[in-house]
């Protein structure tokens, strides 16, 4: 067997190549993790992403609520891979992948053959067929999503300040869908923006007329956490004036109204969607058997059935934890660790070394509800709440940030917001402005 080729299934070379080519599709936690681990591999590495930036999704709600600037949440992919001589980055959308022909097709690029492929295209919003949601809801999964939401909310307050009749029409009311971390964190952050900065920015607007309502279809929010955390979270949301509705779900959305399944209509010009994810839709065209949520099932080495040269990592993959036998959640730490494992494994195969199955190192499940209010549940079931949990959240998430520069920037922004309670990002700048 040629040194550097995958072990079981020799790859038909569609073109003559000096050394193996590794194509990584997606530059999120998983794709970047894989690329960094291939730094010293005797291979040509090509990373393709439709954006030229890596998005740090856990901080999207901080961008949407004006706490952080865009550059603290998005980082140039090229910059992250500087100094990696064997790696090329392309900004292009992947349109098709031919697993049999070992070829990736993209916009603005010639078809690209590969010896190894890392599928790291992440997940996308799932509106579950809710009427009006694709047109009118604000999802919270991408950088443009967060910027769009921030600008929409700022614009609603500016408009209502000039025309107070809009307030009674629900211009300032926000409905947040989903009682998981994305929904709870978004509702908490928006409530702090409303009751803190906006209360001072718009002294003529009566605060009680600007409602934030969190809607969860199940009987409780934060079902992934223990009861003490759920209780704490409800109190923390209540303190921030977030109204929580459980056991009801959104049936339809229009630009100014949200209709619930129970028949209740909420006057709200903003609906934030944090209710559901599914694997990137491209997976449906791969001819693979998919698992729940459109995710690709992988084996212990994170390879795809019948394709030992293809790795699926991060949110796009259904990875079974070897310790618990449960499918791992769609988390940044799972994305980063699985991507790194794929990169390391490919580098070892190329060097003719032995590889190991993937083992996830659990850092706990955590979420932030607001300033000084966070929750953590450790692997053994121990829980933390409040400031201690916020410090743990900060430590884990700082470690996930891609560079020291990003870490320094986030610390300055978080410390600044903590001391001054100011959300300096609450301005709108448009390229079309004078």
Ligand X SMILES: Cc1cc2nc3c(=O)[nH]c(=O)nc-3n(C[C@H](O)[C@H](O)[C@H](O)COP(=O)(O)OP(=O)(O)OC[C@H]3O[C@@H](n4cnc5c(N)ncnc54)[C@H](O)[C@@H]3O)c2cc1C
Residue ranges in contact with ligand X by CB under 6 A: 25-31, 48-51, 55, 57-58, 60-61, 93-94, 120-122, 140-141, 181-182, 280, 282, 314-316, 330-333, 335
Residue 169 or 301 with smaller CB distance to ligand X: 301
The two tokens of residue 238 are: 């209540």
Nearer to ligand X, 215 or 282 (CB): 282
Q: What tokens appear for 413 in the block?
A: 């922004």
Three-state secondary structure call for residue 70 = helix
Q: Which is nearer to ligand X, 267 or 362 (CB)?
A: 362
**Smallest separation (angstroms) from ligand X to the CB of 116:** 17
Q: Which is nearer to ligand X, 145 or 161 (CB)?
A: 145
CA distance 230 to 26: 34
Dmax (CA) of the chain: 76
- Report the side by side order of strands in the sheet with 295-297: 290-291, 295-297, 317-318
Please report, for residues 85, 177, 355, the alpha-carbon distance to residue 274 in angstroms, rounded to integers and kept in the order given.
Answer: 39, 6, 38
Closest CB 54 distance from ligand X, rounded Å: 6
Cα–Cα distances (Å) from 251 to 29, 141, 216, in that order, read 33, 21, 12
We find the least distance from the C-beta atom of residue 72 to ligand X, in angstroms, to be 14
In three-state secondary structure terms, 350 is helix
Helix axes 227-239, 181-192, angle to 10 degrees: 30
Which of 167, 330 has the CB closer to ligand X? 330
| Sheet (strand 174-177) strand order | 138-139, 270-273, 174-177, 212-216, 242-246
Least gap, CB of 103 to ligand X (angstroms)? 15
Residue placing its CB nearer to ligand X in the complex, 25 or 389: 25
Quick check: 374 and 24 in contact, CB under 8 A?
Answer: no
Long-range contacts of range 6-10, CB-CB < 8 Å, 24 or more positions apart? 6/115, 6/116, 6/308, 6/309, 6/349, 7/308, 7/349, 8/308, 9/306, 9/307, 9/308, 9/309
CB of 53 to ligand X, least distance (A): 8
| 3-state SS, residue 379 | coil
Nearer to ligand X, 329 or 386 (CB): 329
Q: Which of 65, 183, 52, 33 is nearest to 421 (CA)?
A: 65
Smallest distance from the beta carbon of 170 to ligand X, in angstroms? 24
Q: In what order do the strands lie in the sheet with 109-113?
A: 94-98, 103-106, 109-113
Q: Return the number of the residue (171 or 376) whose C-beta is nearest ligand X.
A: 376
State which residue, 250 or 376, has the beta carbon closest to ligand X.
376
Shortest separation between residue 169's beta carbon and ligand X, angstroms: 28
End-to-end CA distance of the chain: 64
Nearest distance, CB of residue 191 and ligand X, angstroms: 16
Question: Taking the complex as a whole, how short is the minimal distance between the CB of residue 381 and ligand X, in angstroms?
Answer: 19
């Amino acid at each position: 067997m040629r040194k550097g080729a995958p072990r079981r299934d020799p790859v038909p070379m569609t073109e003559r190549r000096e050394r193996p080519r590794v194509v990584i599709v997606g530059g999120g936690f998983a794709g970047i993790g894989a690329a960094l681990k291939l730094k010293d591999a005797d291979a040509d590495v090509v990373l393709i992403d439709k954006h030229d930036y890596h998005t740090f999704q856990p901080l999207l709600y901080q961008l949407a609520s004006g706490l952080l600037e865009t550059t603290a949440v998005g980082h140039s992919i090229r910059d992250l891979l500087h100094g990696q001589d064997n790696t090329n980055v392309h900004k292009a959308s992947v349109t098709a992948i031919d697993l049999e022909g070992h070829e990736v097709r993209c916009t603005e690029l010639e078809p690209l053959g590969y010896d190894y492929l890392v599928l790291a295209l992440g997940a996308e919003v799932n509106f579950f067929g809710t009427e009006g949601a694709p047109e009118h809801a604000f999802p919270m999964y991408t950088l443009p999503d967060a910027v769009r939401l921030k600008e929409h909310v700022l614009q609603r307050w500016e408009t209502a300040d000039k025309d107070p009749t809009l307030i009674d029409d629900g211009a300032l009311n926000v409905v947040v869908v989903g009682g998981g971390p994305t929904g709870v964190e978004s509702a908490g952050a928006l409530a702090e923006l409303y009751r803190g900065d906006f209360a001072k920015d718009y002294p003529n607007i009566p605060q009680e007329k600007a409602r934030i309502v969190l809607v969860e279809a199940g009987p409780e929010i934060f079902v992934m956490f223990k009861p003490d955390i759920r209780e704490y979270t409800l109190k923390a949301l209540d303190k921030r004036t977030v109204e929580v509705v459980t056991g009801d779900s959104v049936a339809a959305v229009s630009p100014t109204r949200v209709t619930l399944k129970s028949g209740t209509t909420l006057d709200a010009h903003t609906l934030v969607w944090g209710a559901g994810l599914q694997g990137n839709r491209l997976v449906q065209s791969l001819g693979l058997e998919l698992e729940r949520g459109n995710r690709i099932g992988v084996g212990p080495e994170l390879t795809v059935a019948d394709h030992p040269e293809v790795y699926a990592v991060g949110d796009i993959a259904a990875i079974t934890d070897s310790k618990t036998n449960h499918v791992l959640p769609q988390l940044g730490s799972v994305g980063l660790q699985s991507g790194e494992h794929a990169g390391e494994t490919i580098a070892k195969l190329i060097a003719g070394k032995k590889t190991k199955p993937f083992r996830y190192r659990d850092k706990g499940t955590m979420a932030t509800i607001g300033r000084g209010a966070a929750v953590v549940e450790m692997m053994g079931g121990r829980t933390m709440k409040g400031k201690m949990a916020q410090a743990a959240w900060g430590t884990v998430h700082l470690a996930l940030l891609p560079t020291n520069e990003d870490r320094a920037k986030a610390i300055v922004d978080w410390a600044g917001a903590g001391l001054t309670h100011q959300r300096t990002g609450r301005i709108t700048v448009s390229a079309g402005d004078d």
